[in-house]
Amino acid sequence: MACKHRIPAFRYRSGAEGDVEGMEYPAQVYASEIIDTYDYPLSIKKQILEKAIVHEIAHQWWYNLVGFDEVDWGFLDEGLTCWSTDYYARHYYNNWEYFQFTKYYERVRTHTNEVGLPLPAKVNQSAYDLIEDDLDWVFISYYKSPLIFEKISRTLGQTNFTIGLKNFFDDYQFKIALLSDLQHVLENTVSESLDWLFFPWFDNDFLPKYSFYKCSYDDSANILNVTIEDENEILNLYPYTQQAILQVYDSGNSILYDEVVWINSTTTFLITLTSSPDRVRLEYGNDVIVELSDPAKTFIEISVTKEKDLIPGYEIHLLLIICLLSLVYLIYKKQFKHK
């Protein structure tokens, strides 16, 4: 198998353009001596060197033994290799982000252009498409792809995901594998269709951007009505489904409700509370992939509006309908009388 020319997989405040810290070949890897020239503390240079070695060895599984079409599905090569590198970090350092000198979440959540507008970054596209649309291949392959694989791992459970990867390796070593092949193997592992998980994360151009469409509290029924929508849904082919933390606070800043919930595109929650709520927060933490304008603000929040029945036993929207019908009747009656 011929060797590949590759954009550097990992630079820690990169050196000169084109400097490569490591490279993989079939049954052979190297780490570049350029790491020795970096003006960093010895501990950092050792960390960079270790990452280079782990990353290039991981390529012996992903592209050398399990082959990928580097033109049409190149993101599988680097995406799975970067994920495997971070899996090593989780195992040996108990820190999934140990080798992420630029954190995946921060980089992916704030992927915008010079004026702050979100950039399209569909993962499942060929190198030709990326070049034609002037998209960032490094971003998609080295940041977004491994983050999506980690998303799938956390959603399915790490045990299911690692078993699935093992089965994927066993089934496709010495063959050329596609993204659909990986999905099929994972579906067999968890015994369910994963279209809802793979299609949006790999085939949508934009990340979800959540906002509160409605947040009101009915005092008489003690029901909080919260509706969350994805503002970017209209821009994408498939609706996202993922978990986030929904929290409800009272005026004294005490938590009345704190649960992990599924957000399936536009989603409504009806929550029974014994105390009057003041505000609602959707907390992203370190598990939600979402569009953010400020990487430091990992939540959205809204104040609760209060709904009170104008007449006991009647909801306000029903009264509005009655008033509207009455108005239409009066107008009609007046016109008929005038004739």
Q: What is the pLDDT of residues 285-302, one digit of tens each?
A: 878 999 998 888 899 999
Burial 146-163 (b: 16+ CB within 10 A, else e): bbbbbbbbebbeeeebeb
In the chain, the N- to C-terminal Cα span, in Å, equals 91
pLDDT at 34: 86
Task: Say yes or no to pLDDT of 308 above 90.
Answer: no
The class that CATH gives domain 215-306 is mainly beta
Query: H/E element holding 146?
Result: helix 145-156
- The one-letter amino acid at 30: Y
The topology under which CATH files domain 22-203 is Neutral Protease; domain 2 (1.10.390)
Question: What pLDDT digit, counting tens, does each position of 323-335 carry?
Answer: 676 666 566 555 6
CB atoms within 10 A of CB 8: 18
Separation between Cα atoms, residue 277 and residue 79, nearest integer Å: 43
Question: What pLDDT digit, counting tens, does each position of 211-238 carry?
Answer: 999 999 998 999 999 999 999 999 999 9
| Residue 235 CB burial class (10 angstroms; 0-12, 13-18, ≥19) | middle
Separation between Cα atoms, residue 268 and residue 264, nearest integer Å: 9
Q: Could you state, in order of their start, the residue ranges of all structural domains in the chain?
A: 22-203, 215-306, 309-339
Looking only at the bridges linking them, the beta strands covering 305-307 and 267-272 are: unpaired
3-state secondary structure of 302: strand
pTM for the structure as a whole:
0.82
pLDDT at 324: 72
